[in-house]
């Protein structure tokens, strides 16, 4: 059953049980429910009208165009996030100074809150961040939404008794929070991931690469990928693309996923990019899931080959760009497709593990490279890349600050801008 079909309205049927403007709370709740099932692409007027019990013509008159509706929904979600943060903001602003442990605890609690009562809004925000990369019209709205957290992060940074002197903690936390939000949609239930978030927050506030030991984080990260499959759904495992046809189509679909996300992968769009009839694509790959799986196989192969090549060079692994986009897009897809969650978890773990040996090989010999530092660093870098791509922030300054802690490597920063 398609989203909204529980209250079907024929296209020409203008009869419905509602005639006034929907309440904002009802409108947002219905929109978030649709988005959780179908992604941002499912947020159109007709399914919302059906779910709320409105004739489509009446609903369109009440809420305006699809663009106006989306702007209104983003504003409503941002306002709800602001309301959730208000008690924390008042608490922080009532203090002259905050002990470092209190700052760490508040940061963790805010991010955990987004995985609980604020989970659906957090998912919505991630979808908008992804869409804003290719839809400039969304950029002012998502920038305002991201700024909701900024006042709290700034108030905490201003009052923290200790904080890194060489790292803009407000920018670092904004980036970390965006990356965490997408991963938490699919793996927050696991102790391993919650530990990784907590340790990452602690590392950021204490300063990265200070030699501070952690619990055996490699074991935690291994556990993250070894969790049982959800509800008996078989694990997804990457397959090598052996035929020329699979390789060619895989490359096309990988570009689509990296550029726009998995919702953009349709038979029609793949056929258009391949320059062949729609029916030919559908013949070889009948289901949309077949196309998505093909693209993800291509992405995983690209990640593996790039990471191996980077081990023998001064170039940064794929985390700097394509892996950031790919892992974010796949995490969002996995929020709706449980069979994709194992590969999404693996990509999150692999991201830090790929960076770890590269740092050990290329960083100054006396730099204490701890895996927890590397995972925190990768989250900030990926979040900064995503926010930059969405037109929210320039990733350059925070990236420069992160790499300044590793030594003077200006030639490497180009990959992150």
CB burial of residue 197 (10 Å; 0-12, 13-18, 19+):
buried
Query: What's the rounded mean pLDDT across residues 161-174?
Result: 90
Torsion, Cα 358 360 362 363, to 10 degrees, reads 130
- Residue 117: CB atoms within 10 A of its CB come to 11
Q: Which two tokens stand for residue 118?
A: 């604020």
Dist CA 109 CA 113 (whole Å):
6
Flag the least confident range among 86-90, 97-101, 170-174, 240-244.
240-244
Whether pLDDT at 86 is above 80? yes
Contact yes or no for 380/168 (Cβ under 8 A): no
DSSP 133-193: TT-GGGHHHHHHHHHHHHHHHHHHHHHBSS--SSS-HHHHHHHHHHHHHHHHHHHTTSHHH
Average pLDDT of the residues in 220-227:
51
CATH pick for 24-64 out of 3.10.450, 2.60.40, 1.10.10, 3.40.50: 1.10.10
∠ at Cα 71 (180, 388), nearest 5°? 40
Least confident of 49-58, 71-80, 252-261, 341-350: 341-350
- The ranges assigned to domains in the chain are 24-64, 99-235+303-417
Give, as one character, the DSSP assignment of residue 316: -
pTM of the model: 0.83
Tokens of 97: 């100074």
Query: In whole angstroms, what is the distance from residue 264 CA to residue 134 CA?
Result: 11
Residue tagged 């947020």 (tokens)? 43
For 40, 162, 278, 310, the CA distances from 131, given in Å and listed in that order, are 8, 37, 25, 29
Give every CB contact of residue 108 below 8 A, 6+ residues apart in sequence: 197, 198, 201
With residue 361 as reference, give the H or E element that holds it: helix 341-362
The CA distances from residue 254 to 50, 169, 258, 344, 350, in Å, are: 34, 34, 6, 15, 18
Residue scoring higher pLDDT (331 or 8): 331
Which residues, 6 or more positions from 244, have their beta carbon under 8 angstroms from its beta carbon?
none
- pLDDT above 90 for 69: yes
Integer Rg of the chain from CA: 22
Res 126 pLDDT > 90: yes
Q: What would the 3-class secondary structure string for 204-220 be?
A: HHHCCCCCCCCCCHHHH
Residue 148, pLDDT above cutoff 90: yes
List, for residues 355-371, the tens digit of each pLDDT value: 776 677 767 777 777 77
Those residues whose C-beta lies under 8 Å from the C-beta of residue 255, and which sit 6 or more positions away, are 273
pLDDT tens for each residue of 177-204: 999 999 899 888 877 788 889 989 999 9
1, 25, 125, 147, 270 from 81: Cα distances, Å = 31, 13, 10, 11, 37
């Amino acid at each position: 059953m398609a989203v909204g079909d529980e209250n079907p309205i024929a296209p020409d049927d203008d009869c419905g049980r509602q005639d006034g403007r929907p309440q904002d709370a009802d409108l947002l709740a219905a929109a978030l429910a649709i988005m959780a099932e179908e992604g941002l692409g499912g947020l159109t007027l007709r399914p919302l009208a059906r779910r709320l019990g409105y004739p489509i013509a009446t609903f369109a008159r009440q809420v305006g165009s699809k663009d106006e509706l989306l702007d209104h929904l983003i504003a409503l979600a941002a306002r709800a996030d602001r309301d959730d943060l208000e008690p924390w903001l008042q608490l922080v602003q009532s203090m002259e100074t905050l002990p470092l442990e209190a700052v760490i605890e508040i940061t963790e609690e805010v991010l955990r809150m987004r995985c609980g009562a604020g989970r659906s809004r957090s998912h919505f925000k991630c979808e908008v961040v992804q869409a804003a990369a290719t839809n400039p019209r969304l950029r002012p709205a998502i920038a305002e939404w991201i700024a909701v957290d900024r006042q709290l992060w700034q108030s905490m940074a201003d009052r923290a008794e200790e904080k890194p002197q060489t790292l803009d903690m407000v920018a670092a936390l904004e980036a970390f929070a965006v990356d965490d939000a997408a991963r938490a949609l699919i793996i927050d239930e696991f102790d391993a991931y919650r530990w990784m978030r907590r340790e990452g927050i602690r590392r950021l506030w204490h300063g990265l690469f200070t030699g501070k030991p952690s619990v055996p984080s490699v074991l935690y990260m291994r556990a993250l990928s070894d969790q049982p499959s959800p509800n008996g759904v078989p694990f997804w495992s990457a397959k090598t693309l052996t035929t020329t046809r699979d390789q060619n189509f895989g490359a096309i679909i990988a570009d689509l996923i990296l550029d726009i996300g998995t919702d953009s992968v349709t038979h029609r769009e793949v056929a258009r990019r391949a320059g062949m009839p729609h029916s030919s694509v559908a013949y070889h790959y009948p289901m949309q899931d077949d196309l998505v799986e093909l693209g993800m196989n291509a992405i995983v192969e690209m990640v593996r080959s790039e990471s191996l090549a980077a081990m023998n060079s001064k170039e940064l692994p794929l985390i700097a760009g394509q892996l950031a986009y790919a892992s974010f897009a796949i995490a969002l897809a996995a929020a709706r497709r449980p069979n994709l969650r194992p590969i999404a978890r693996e990509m999150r773990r692999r991201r830090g593990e790929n960076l770890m040996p590269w740092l050990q090989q290329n960083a100054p010999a006396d730099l204490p490279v701890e895996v927890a530092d590397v995972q925190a660093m990768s989250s900030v870098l990926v979040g900064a890349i995503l926010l930059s791509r969405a037109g929210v922030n320039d990733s350059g300054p925070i990236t420069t600050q992160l790499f300044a802690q590793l030594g003077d490597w200006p030639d490497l920063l180009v990959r992150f801008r």
